Amino acid sequence: MSSENKEAAAPSDFIRDIVEKHVAEKKYPQIHTRFPPEPNGYLHIGHAKSICLNFGIAHEFGGICNLRMDDTNPTKEDVEYVDSITEDVNWLISGWASQNLGLKSKGKTPDTSTSNGKPDFHLAPAFGSAAVPAAAASPGPEPSKRDAPETGALLEPFYASDYFDQLYEYAIALIKKGQAYVCDLTPEETDEYRRQAKESPYRNRRVEENLDLFTRMKNGEFPDGKRSLRAKIDVTSPNVWMRDPLLYRIRHAEHHHTGPKWCIYPMYDFAHCLSDYIEGITHSICTLEFEVHRPLYDWILENLDLPRPLPHQYEFARLSLGYTVMSKRKLMQLVNENLVSGWDDPRLPTISGIRRRGVTPEALRNFAYNIGITKYNGITDVAVLEHAIRDDLNKRALRRLAVLRSIKVVLTNYPEGKIEELDAINNPEDPAAGTRKVPFSRELYIEQDDFREVPPPKFFRLKPGGEVRLKYAYIIKCDEVIKDAGGRIVELRCTADLDSKMGGATANRKVKGTIHWVSAAHAIDAECRLYDRLFTEAEPEKDGRDFKTVLNPHSLEVVTAKCEPSLKDARPELRYQFARLAYFALDKDSTPGKLVLNRTITLKDTWAKDARKG
């Protein structure tokens, strides 16, 4: 594989400008970001944008970034998702920002030098931990047993649920200050009261009563929905999030990480800002829909009288990509209704699907860097992603000869039993990749598309009576078309110009077309899965349409390709270009006895061509 693939230069945007200013001012001892997914599904390419932003900032400014499971809702979350998220983040940052990953381990001190010479490991919790009320007496996140890895191997993520004890103590602190109360309205009533800017009749409960009821909520005395803890802020605020929002609710449910310990769970808004604080996050970066939550984020931190500095929230526009759907809820629908083969179906925009398809982390990071960070929501053209993938694969892919839909060619003037080993270039972009031998013989396969009995104008491939060059080999001429009883073409009888091979007398003779081929006797079969866009429309949900009505029925086609024999040694970490066709990567279903390859992307943008054709 080529080592020439360069990482895109660090971009500049409004968030990085802010961070840069803070670094210059020495506002914080160290920049500390986090990526906080909820483990309620697999990560998608939108999350990749956020991962590249948060880890990118840590990487560029000598900081650290925590991977934190935002796991406050026990009924929707699962360890399967925790594991897949950890794997996906690790895959995306490995060898790039893995040295900037926040560590829970307090064991061995890892290598502290980075390319920019700044320290890059930091042991969380940072300054935030000092501020936990004494009563909490919680040790904070469990120190990891694992040592820091040599080269960014899998590390344990942080969990918001590890802070449940501390969060509970923070809630008690707010109650004691008269800034939180236990409310007996039902969830529906609470919503209605907040909509109408009405005070709850329980708003003015005494502190002692609130403390007693909250303790009993925690002890499991009440059923789900019976009571809640709410912040006492301002029910008439123009920002509904400030209208006495819920801080805790009752959920008698086991949690994937804390087990049966809790039956009250903190709400996102309460848990998130405090988790940021506990971990010493300086820049809490999230998508635009959280902008309206920011006053609440600040209110909670400020009203707990925590030692400064406090983390600050910054918002950017989420990624929306053409020809796909993004939210975990919708992706789950596709998975659960068997419209795709699983979360890692190569047609999905999930990180695991994209990885399985054969896209490299470098390509995904370059894409994330290229699209930039703004404050404006919009749809990114999928061509931008496809360009990043082609650009990356062009540099690294090993070229191979393979025929996806074959038609037999017999060279009538080529000796039977003769085999030539021809030299073929592995990667014209990377001379170090060298050459290999490809066997040539009397019977070959070529692509059905490379022959036309009745050719359209300017068809420079093979036609009756016409000539074409076989890549790395001879010029051939089609003399005869053999058909079966049904009129289907089964074989082409051709003659080769036996002097036209490289070094031969007629080697420089010009013919307009060059096509690829495989020696029939030497060909090995491979199942090739040809993927296309999952939807036929750029905006599957436009005007409220059900996205399932515009699924592309041709998003997967499976063919048995005839491949040059060297592909029997295909390796999962390598990428291949089938000459003139597409890029391929080995699928996890591949076995030594049966090759299975995924088409990552075609060489050219066939959609743009089709669109031009109208």
The Cα–Cα gap between 582 and 604 comes to 8
Region of 45-53, 179-187, 521-529, 553-561 interacting with ligand ATP (CB under 6 A): 45-53
Comparison of 265 and 583: residue with beta carbon closer to ligand ATP: 265
361 contacts ligand ATP (rule: CB under 6 A): no
The Cα–Cα gap between 15 and 32 comes to 13
46 contacts ligand ATP (rule: CB under 6 A): yes
Q: How far is CA 400 from CA 6, 514, 562, in A?
A: 24, 15, 11
User: DSSP string spanning 515-546?
Assistant: E--EETTT-EEEEEEEE--SBSSSSTTGGG--
Minimum distance of ligand ATP from residue 267's CB (angstroms): 13
328 contacts ligand ATP (rule: CB under 6 A): yes
Residue with tokens 């866009």: 533
Q: Is 451 helix (H, G, I), strand (E, B) or coil?
A: strand
312 contacts ligand ATP (rule: CB under 6 A): no
327 contacts ligand ATP (rule: CB under 6 A): yes
Contact 423, 499 (CB under 8 A): no
Least Cα distance to 119 among 131, 102, 132 occurs for: 102
Residue 146 appears among annotated catalytic residues: no
Phi/psi for 291 (5° steps) reads -55, -40
Region of 43-51, 104-112, 189-197, 497-505 interacting with ligand ATP (CB under 6 A): 43-51
326 contacts ligand ATP (rule: CB under 6 A): yes
Comparison of 33 and 105: residue with beta carbon closer to ligand ATP: 33
Comparison of 232 and 328: residue with beta carbon closer to ligand ATP: 328
- Residue partners of 429: CB distance under 8 A and separation at least 6: 2, 4, 394, 395
Binding mask 48-87 for ligand ATP (x = CB under 6 A): -xx-------------------x-----------------
DSSP H helical ranges for 148-206: 164-176, 187-195
Region of 134-142, 322-330, 369-377, 565-573 interacting with ligand ATP (CB under 6 A): 322-330
Token digits for 327? 């939210």
Residue 400 pairs in a beta bridge with: 578
Among 13, 20, 38, 147, binds ligand ATP (CB under 6 A): 38
Minimum distance of ligand ATP from residue 158's CB (angstroms): 13
The Cα–Cα gap between 238 and 223 comes to 32
Region of 32-40, 106-114, 139-147, 343-351 interacting with ligand ATP (CB under 6 A): 32-40
Minimum distance of ligand ATP from residue 332's CB (angstroms): 9
Region of 97-105, 150-158, 180-188, 326-334 interacting with ligand ATP (CB under 6 A): 326-334
Residue 527 appears among annotated catalytic residues: no
36 contacts ligand ATP (rule: CB under 6 A): yes
Q: Return the biggest CA–CA distance within the chain.
A: 102
Least Cα distance to 287 among 83, 16, 37 occurs for: 37
Comparison of 36 and 102: residue with beta carbon closer to ligand ATP: 36
Residue 512 appears among annotated catalytic residues: no
34, 232, 249, 328: which one is catalytic? 328
Minimum distance of ligand ATP from residue 48's CB (angstroms): 8
Among 76, 318, 408, 461, binds ligand ATP (CB under 6 A): 318
319 contacts ligand ATP (rule: CB under 6 A): yes
- Residue partners of 364: CB distance under 8 A and separation at least 6: 45, 48, 52, 92, 351, 354, 388
Least Cα distance to 312 among 271, 273, 356, 270 occurs for: 273
Region of 2-10, 324-332, 423-431, 469-477 interacting with ligand ATP (CB under 6 A): 324-332
157 contacts ligand ATP (rule: CB under 6 A): no
Any idea what DSSP says for residue 327?
Answer: -
Name the residues annotated as catalytic: 38, 318, 328
**Would you tell me which residues interact with ligand ATP (CB under 6 A)?**
36-38, 46-47, 49-50, 70, 286-287, 318-319, 326-328
